[in-house]
Structure formats: structure tokens, C-alpha cells
Amino acid sequence: MLSANAKPYIDASVPVLREHGLAITTVFYKNMLTAHPELKNLFNLGNQANGSQQQSLASAVFAYAANIENAAALAPVIERIVHKHASIGIKPSHYPIVGRYLLGAIKEVLGDAATTNLIAAWDEAYWLLAGELIAAEARLYQTAGFEADSWMKLIVVDKVQQGADIVSFTLQPADHQALPNFKPGQYVSVATYLDDLQLRQLRQYSLSDAPSKNSLRISVKCEKGDEFRPEGKVSNWLHQHVHIGDILDVSHPYGNFTPDILASHPIGLISAGVGFTPMISMLNSLADENPNRPVLFAHAARSKQHLSHWQDVNLAKVAMPYLHHALYLNECHEKEDGVTIGKMNLSDVLSPASQANLFQAESNEAEFYICGPQAFMDDQWKTLLELGISPTKIHREVFGPESLSHLI
């Protein structure tokens, strides 16, 4: 627990972090990665370049300061961070480095306002959080049966173009060892060495098929970049250079965006774009293990050419009598059954007149899982709340750095 001496200084930091948080985290990353270039192997340099990593950390630091004694609010955020850390191999030895440069950045940005007492309070708060993360990561490694920074050598046994910009890779152990089990909705990290950067880079990809198939499947969107965003170095490399027979370094599965597949209450799987991938893992698992469960599968895409894994949805429709699917396309020139042109509107899908009205009868029990771009998820979250769905029944997953403010 934070000491009585430190608490007033942390409380006073909330408005300061609102104003200077991004500047602090920008200085933090710059100074730390300059002094420890080996850590560039752990950080996504694309997210460094576009500023999203700095913004994410600023949001996390602010959320921590604002809720430092609210364990219930911080618990889901900490769990999410712990899984992410485990997926990239964070070790206890990394925490003193991070602490040193985070406190140094606070001093550098705030100048004379960073008094000795303020820095001492943040040193105490940082190590409270670090200790909690280190302990939670150790428990996760122990439960999973893996050591920190352990990687599997997996061979690519299938490579399939899934729509205009997504390729799926099916992976099996190169040494014929058993694969770890995973929960639908989890992800793995893929480690690649990029010659042009002279760096090892890590990226997380959701597993896009059900467990218990003696293989792992990931589906990778090629991020082409534009004037506002750099291209995806790793996704382009995987699309262009990885073929059947190649071997990849892959982490064990992690992530807490994991529904109870065997439960009986209705479940809504809501996605857009490449957010489709964890939902396909969930849907295929439901088809295998609980086909009579009421399921709403709603997806939004740019066009039919940008759909991926729709064959999985068609197979699930055969196996699942209470599956209702809704497809939204921004670009569609001819009306088709089951297709709506334009933005997703869950109010229509979940209205009493809808085919998905079973959700109305059991709306207090239904759970919803949302994955896609931040703006899309915010829209669906707002709509579900307006429909009377409890926020405790709505779960979200974001690819890449995320603003943690909506989780607190």
C-alpha cells in the first residue's frame, strides 16, 4: 500500500500527468532506448514512430495515478499488461531500467516542479506497481509451465491468402513436440529479424482457429502504410518472405480476451477488419464444443474482397442452429441477403423484431466481445450501453498499443 507520505504527491500528479504525460513518456523512451539499444528488440519501432506507444504509456501512467488505491479498477488493466509482458519475454531485470528512465523523464520534463518529495513518491509508487507485475508474471509463467522469454520453433505448413490483405499461416512444431493448449481469443508473438533495421522485432497475432487441431493458425494483415502511418515492417516481411517449410520463432499463447466457450448464455462476437481473427477462433470453438449456444456474429469490412475466413462462418452456420450472423460492408454495389451496406448498427440487429431477438429474452445474461479499430469499438460499446447492456458484460480487445483510459 502506498505510504501516507507519498499519497498526496501522487494525487497531486493527476492533473500534471494529464498535461505533461505524453512529453514525459516521449522523453522516457528516447533516453532509455538511446542508453539501452538492446531494448529496441522488445519494442515495436513502428508504434514508436507513430507515437502510439508513447500515448499508450502516458494513458497507463495517468490511469495508475488516478486509481492507485482502487484495486478493483486496476486489476483488469494489470492482467492485460501481464499477458502482454509475458508474450514478449519481459523479465524482472528490465524493471530497474524502466524505473530509472521513467523517473529521469519526470525530472527532465517537470524541472523544478519535480521536487525531491515528488520523485520519492513516484519511486515508491513505481516499485509497488513493478512488484505487483513481477509477481503476477511469475505466477502466469508458473501456471502456463513456461519460462520467461521462451520460444517455440514452428514450421509453416500452410499459407493461404484470406481476402485482399490478409494471409493465414498454419504452424506446427518443427521438432514434433506437442503444442501448448490455448484459449480462444488468445494471441502469440512472432519474432523476426529485419535486415534493414538490424533488429529483432516482435509482433502479436491472434490465433485464428479453434484449439485441439495439432496446429496453430495466425492471420496477418499486411499494413501498407500511408502519409499518416508507416508501413508494417513485420507484416510485410511475413507476407513477402515466409513460405511453406520456413520456420518461425513463436511465443507461447497469452491473453485474457477469452470467453467461457461452454457457458449457455448468449454471446455476441462483434468485429471489424482484422479484429475478425480472435472471433473466428471463438466461433470455431463454439461450433466444435457448444454448437447449440445462441450466438450473434456481426462483422464489418470494407468490401467482400476484404473478407477473410468467411468459409469458417459458413461452416459454423451449418453446425450451429442458433447462430445469427450480420455482415456490414462499406463498399457493396449489389444488395445481398445477410449484407447491410454501411456502418454497423447493433440497435437494428438486437431489436425485438430481429432474428437475433433471443438476446432480448436473455439480455441480462448475454455477453459481448468486441475487437477492431478503437473508434469502431467505442461506437459499439456506446450502442450496447444504450441498449441496456451492463458494462461488465462487454469485453474489448485492441491490436497494438491501446489507450487504457477506457478500461478504468
219-252 core/surface letters (b: 16 or more CB in 10 A; e: else): bbbbbeeeeeeeebbbbbbbbeebeeeeebebbb
Distance, in Å, from the CA atom of 161 to the CA atom of 169, rounded to the nearest integer, reads: 9
Above 90 in pLDDT, residue 247?
Answer: yes
Q: What are the φ/ψ torsions at residue 321 (nearest 5 degrees)? A: -70, -20
Q: pLDDT digits over 202-244, tens only?
A: 999 999 999 977 899 999 998 776 555 656 789 999 999 999 9
Q: pLDDT digits over 24-36, tens only?
A: 989 999 999 999 9
DSSP string, 10-29: HHHHHHHHHHHHHHHHHHHH
What is the β-pairing status of strands 187-194 and 247-251?
A: antiparallel
Provide the pLDDT for residue 197. Answer: 78
Number of C-beta neighbours around residue 94 at 10 A: 17
Surface-to-core class of residue 39, CB atoms within 10 Å of its CB (0-12 exposed, 13-18 middle, 19+ buried): middle
Residues 126, 137, 369, 397: which is the catalytic one?
A: 137
Residues 95, 108, 132, 365: which is the catalytic one?
A: 95
Contact 389, 363 (CB under 8 A): yes
Provide the pLDDT for residue 408. Answer: 35
Catalytic residue list contains 132:
no
Distance, in Å, from the CA atom of 50 to the CA atom of 56, rounded to the nearest integer, reads: 12
Provide the pLDDT for residue 358. Answer: 56
66-80, 241-255, 356-370: the lowest-pLDDT one: 356-370
Cα dihedral sign, 363-299-213-205: negative
Share of the chain above pLDDT 90, in %: 53
What single-letter amino acid sits at 158? D
Cα 120 from chain centroid?
Answer: 33
Specify the pTM: 0.89
Catalytic residue list contains 322:
no
Above 80 in pLDDT, residue 334?
Answer: no
